[in-house]
Structure formats: structure tokens, C-alpha cells
């Protein structure tokens, strides 16, 4: 997985590789942590049991293997700094 960062005053993006294990841990944390429950509710993701989380992680790993350069997530703040995550 790669992370591309672009500042508000720069036209070029910087690329940083991220180990897949960190990406998997971040996704699993998002799915299970109470800290992100409001965000999950906004995306209509209800409370997941252990079996459902494991199935989601299996599907995510399949995406990582089969779809290279798939844009997963884009974050942009009020200062127009953006971060893109690509498989």
C-alpha cells in the first residue's frame, strides 16, 4: 500500500510505502474500535461480530492481491492538504 501526501502550497505529491500489516491493523481497528463507532454509523456499518470482521479482512486481503493501484481512501483537510491511500 502507498500513501501519497500533497501540501496546500505544493503541486507535487510525495509517495511513502506503508507495510500491508499496518494497513490491515488500521482497517481492523476501524471496524472494531469504539472510538470509530460514530463514523461507522455514518457509513451504515452496524456492530460487527468476530466472524464478520474476519470475513471483511479476508475480502480486503483479496482486494490487495487482485487490484493493484486501487484508490482506497482520500483525506483532505480545510487547508487543502490531501492524503491518498492506494493499494
* Radius of gyration for the alpha carbons in the chain, expressed in angstroms and rounded: 15
Q: Count CA within 13 A, CB hemisphere, residue 46.
A: 2
Q: Is the pLDDT of residue 36 over 90?
A: no
Q: Which residues of 58-73 are buried (b: 16+ CB within 10 A; e: fewer)?
A: eebeeebeeeeeeeee
Q: Is the pLDDT of residue 17 over 90?
A: no
Provide the residue range defining the domain that includes 22.
2-86
Counted domains in the chain: 1
The pTM assigned to this predicted structure is: 0.62
More confident residue, 76 or 53: 53
40 pLDDT tier (thresholds 50, 70, 90): confident
Measured CA to CA, the distance from residue 57 to residue 73 in angstroms comes to 16
Q: Who contacts 85 (Cβ-Cβ below 8 Å, separation ≥6)?
A: 1, 2, 3, 4, 18, 23, 71, 72, 73, 74
Amino acid at each position: 500500500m502507498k500513501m501519497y501526501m500533497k501540501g496546500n502550497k505544493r503541486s507535487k505529491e510525495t509517495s511513502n510505502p506503508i507495510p500491508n500489516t499496518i494497513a490491515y491493523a488500521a482497517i481492523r481497528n476501524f471496524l472494531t474500535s469504539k472510538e470509530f463507532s460514530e463514523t461507522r454509523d455514518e457509513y451504515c456499518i452496524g456492530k460487527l461480530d468476530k466472524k464478520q470482521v474476519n470475513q471483511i479482512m479476508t475480502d480486503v486481503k483479496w482486494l490487495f492481491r487482485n487490484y493493484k493501484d486501487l484508490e482506497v481512501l482520500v483525506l483532505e483537510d480545510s487547508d487543502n492538504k490531501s492524503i491518498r491511500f492506494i493499494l
